[in-house]
Structure 1
């Protein structure tokens, strides 16, 4: 296999393939964070509460996580390009429905359900295409750098772009923007050729899909109930654990019977991949958690409007952009472990700065240094985490690892919004105190991520192209 796309084998085709893939990751990540700055506008327009909008955002992220693994398995059965295009169409329909939503229920259907399911179908092919198209570490790191970087930029720039659109036009116009981007991706994707023929007879584990979805749903739903109903929270968390244990028992039973389960236990036998998945999960806990907490705090406690809140996120956007643009250079000079460790260390420092400055200054400038550090840290560590995980399994398992990888990342996004957001929303009247508690919780996650990164195996030999893995 060459280092250029199998569909054409040319550098021009490599660029034409990468453009729609990176843009798809950008818009899906953008959708997860841009609503944070619209919370006050949406709640007033639709007659709902901050909690209602938080549930909408969290459900979008959770539905992505729930259906990402089934979506990745369907790429083998239906074909990667077919899943990619179907996902784009569902996402586009959800964006249009959200744009005209008369109430919270329709917004949840459009944004949370249709956009969430659409994303779960289109994202696994993005990483499968990139993995199969680039065989050596340098070119693959470059491709993942562009794709993951665009994802990080989408998440970091979501509040800025969303705030500008909301203030200049309306929060509904942000969904029109998403629709336009989806149409552009569809047009750019017309010449993509699936490198592997679909297998319509490939078995699909429906029982496993239901059990895993139920488990993840009840866990996150339980977290969302923490500030309202302790009894319901406990029951939901217990149900979530029961369903997840049932899922893993089902997987082992199917493997023992020689059947193909939704998720192979072989994916969890590689220590490097497992640690990489942990770092991916926590990176998105931090990115989405910080975005939600800071945005809600500024709008509800400090009284900022959408554009003012969005502008405050400019340092984070700049940080992610700068470190993502330098990803290829970093990969050529430093090991992936060092990049991930450094990224988490810088992010921890950023959270510490956010906590320190909010206590001593009420100025908007107080948020800049911390958000810049978080953006730089997460930007430098996103690509190597993805590369480590995707490169840890053979091509025959790329569909599974791609779905697992993205599911873990999106589950991290939903955890960040659910856990930190619930801590903040539960006591907004306390102002700085609930903000500090939410940020301290994210700092604990960051330290766990740093510990996992430090346990990654040290590089033992250089890649044939000179890159230490």
Structure 2
């Protein structure tokens, strides 16, 4: 890639190019958070459950994680700009399909699959197109603004989704995405393509191994709430006496190991690998990727758990839920944009450490104040802290990873980086949901077992029916179900109390796991450089 190509255009053209690429990044990040405040509404509208919506959210990021590396190679083969535009078309088709989805199957096709495939082409291309359209000295600022666009999307997503769901319909969000895609396609003609020295060959076996390995592992994690982690739940399948989750996760790890062995063999033979194995030994790059993984694991776990508390446990509307998440959005934006602007020479390692500590402290504070009698206001301070931490990480990690390799490897690193972030997002949502449902079930059954007002027959039926996992129900939903079943008032009251307690126990358990993940990330911060990449190059 050359630094001269971008200088040919005018300043106005450069701004339009940056706006176009940032809009693409915004759109990809928006779908990761826009529907979290509307989970209950969407689930009811298409005839599914919270668990079904958890699967759709996880599947979207999972498809991206599975195909991102291959998407980067396809971009090198057909041209980055063409890959970007084709990805936008596929993504737009997915958004339209989602907007008219009558059931979960069509929603999965549009949102999880088509949008995921489109994103796998778009995101790696953005990294290379920034480098091909901006001179070397302008690239850090350009990468920072693109990263800020993602932060804005994640921050405003809950409010956009909440407003659309409350005043119109959640379907309008995806219909609006189609319009944005059309605008991006019109503006994309001004983007200069990223030159490539040669047409790469796509390592098909490597692509299959990496996609299957990542897919099996995350699918296994996703099924834990229904199948169990190790011992199979009642009615769940058992493979050699263990839950299928164990074997799926082991198979996934084994296939990823085979993938890296195959890539090393290709390099030894002088062939072109899907991913250069030498990248694994790049200390700065692996440090940045590890932080990306933990950031998105905690981030998407929080964006799954907190909206459930506000919209289901407290029964708030989608727009009120979005407004209550706004403190996280504001502090996230303030840190993501403010740190590079006011402290451009701050130590990346120090900023990342402080960001992780802020996320950890926010999760711990929320864990401490969450209770059956807590109101909506208790989430404000914890979300401010978590948002500050997310923004601090967003302000540093993009520059850390891209500057760790030569410019010609930027697209390859872009594919790996987006794979890692979506893998973290998938696991974060899956683990948070799995732990929440598992603890909710055990807490609910334990509470009603100790209540003398509930007949033994009802307790026995509850144990049988909830053996595979209790749904995350609001009081209104549970009350309606009990009325239809003809339950006595004493049983209904006891069940409602047990449900309220179980919901909080499940939420606390999920938050505890997320706090532990944030704390674990601190052990890997030594791989983050102490000086800014731009300063290191001077």
TM-score (norm 1): 0.94
Counterpart pick for 1:446 among 518, 523, 528: 518
| 1:71-106 deviation digits (Å, cap 9, x = unpaired) | 111111111000000010000000000111111101
Question: Does the CA contact (< 8 Å) of 1:148 and 1:382 recur in 2?
Answer: yes
Provide the residue aligned with 2:194 in structure 1.
195
* Equivalent-residue separation in structure 1 for 2:533 and 2:400 (angstroms): 15
Question: Does the CA contact (< 8 Å) of 2:163 and 2:322 recur in 1?
Answer: yes
Instruction: Specify whether residues 377 and 457 from structure 1 end up closer, same or farther in structure 2 by C-alpha distance, changes over 3 A only.
Output: same
- Say whether 1:142 aligns with 2:141: yes
Provide the residue aligned with 2:131 in structure 1.
131
Question: Does the CA contact (< 8 Å) of 2:33 and 2:154 recur in 1?
Answer: yes
Question: Does the CA contact (< 8 Å) of 1:205 and 1:261 recur in 2?
Answer: yes
Provide the residue aligned with 1:23 in structure 2.
23
| 1:411-469 deviation digits (Å, cap 9, x = unpaired) | 11111111112212332441111111111111111112222224424339982798xxx
- 3-state DSSP of counterpart to 1:333: coil
* Equivalent-residue separation in structure 2 for 1:277 and 1:407 (angstroms): 10
Moved beyond 6 Å, runs of 4+: 1-4
Provide the residue aligned with 2:203 in structure 1.
205
Provide the residue aligned with 2:484 in structure 1.
none
* Equivalent-residue separation in structure 1 for 2:392 and 2:309 (angstroms): 27
Question: Does the CA contact (< 8 Å) of 1:348 and 1:443 recur in 2?
Answer: yes
| 1:80-133 deviation digits (Å, cap 9, x = unpaired) | 000000010000000000111111101000000000000010111111122344
Q: CA shift at 1:134, angstroms?
A: 4.2
Counterpart pick for 1:314 among 321, 326, 342: 326
RMSD: 2.1
Provide the residue aligned with 1:246 in structure 2.
258
The more displaced of 414-423 and 99-108 is 414-423
Q: CA shift at 1:325, angstroms?
A: 2.2
The more displaced of 445-454 and 3-12 is 3-12
Provide the residue aligned with 1:86 in structure 2.
86
Provide the residue aligned with 2:43 in structure 1.
43
* Equivalent-residue separation in structure 2 for 1:113 and 1:460 (angstroms): 38
Provide the residue aligned with 1:382 in structure 2.
394
* Equivalent-residue separation in structure 2 for 1:147 and 1:120 (angstroms): 17
Question: Does the CA contact (< 8 Å) of 2:222 and 2:434 recur in 1?
Answer: yes
Q: How many matched pairs? A: 464
* Equivalent-residue separation in structure 1 for 2:5 and 2:18 (angstroms): 10
The more displaced of 451-460 and 417-426 is 451-460
Provide the residue aligned with 1:415 in structure 2.
427
Provide the residue aligned with 1:184 in structure 2.
183
The more displaced of 456-465 and 293-302 is 456-465
* Equivalent-residue separation in structure 2 for 1:194 and 1:399 (angstroms): 13
Q: CA shift at 1:367, angstroms?
A: 0.6
TM-score (norm 2): 0.82
* Equivalent-residue separation in structure 1 for 2:247 and 2:105 (angstroms): 25
- 3-state DSSP of counterpart to 1:215: helix
* Equivalent-residue separation in structure 2 for 1:461 and 1:191 (angstroms): 29
Instruction: Specify whether residues 408 and 153 from structure 1 end up closer, same or farther in structure 2 by C-alpha distance, changes over 3 A only.
Output: same
- 3-state DSSP of counterpart to 2:270: coil
1:237-386 aligned at under 5 Å gives the runs 237-359=249-371, 362-386=374-398
- 3-state DSSP of counterpart to 1:288: helix
Question: Does the CA contact (< 8 Å) of 2:348 and 2:532 recur in 1?
Answer: no
- 3-state DSSP of counterpart to 2:315: coil
- 3-state DSSP of counterpart to 1:228: helix
- 3-state DSSP of counterpart to 1:82: helix
The more displaced of 102-111 and 415-424 is 415-424
Question: Does the CA contact (< 8 Å) of 1:92 and 1:178 recur in 2?
Answer: yes
* Equivalent-residue separation in structure 1 for 2:174 and 2:505 (angstroms): 34
**Structure 1 residue ranges without an equivalent (≥5):** none
Question: Does the CA contact (< 8 Å) of 2:348 and 2:530 recur in 1?
Answer: no
**Structure 2 residue ranges without an equivalent (≥5):** 229-242, 441-471, 473-498
Q: CA shift at 1:330, angstroms?
A: 4.4
| 1:312-337 deviation digits (Å, cap 9, x = unpaired) | 11001101111122143245231222
Provide the residue aligned with 1:406 in structure 2.
418
Q: CA shift at 1:12, angstroms?
A: 2.7
Q: CA shift at 1:4, angstroms?
A: 7.6
Q: CA shift at 1:396, angstroms?
A: 2.1
* Equivalent-residue separation in structure 1 for 2:52 and 2:148 (angstroms): 30
* Equivalent-residue separation in structure 1 for 2:130 and 2:378 (angstroms): 39
Instruction: Specify whether residues 379 and 222 from structure 1 end up closer, same or farther in structure 2 by C-alpha distance, changes over 3 A only.
Output: same
Provide the residue aligned with 1:54 in structure 2.
54
Question: Does the CA contact (< 8 Å) of 2:81 and 2:194 recur in 1?
Answer: no
The more displaced of 277-286 and 351-360 is 351-360
Provide the residue aligned with 2:173 in structure 1.
174
Question: Does the CA contact (< 8 Å) of 1:293 and 1:420 recur in 2?
Answer: yes
- Say whether 1:120 aligns with 2:120: yes
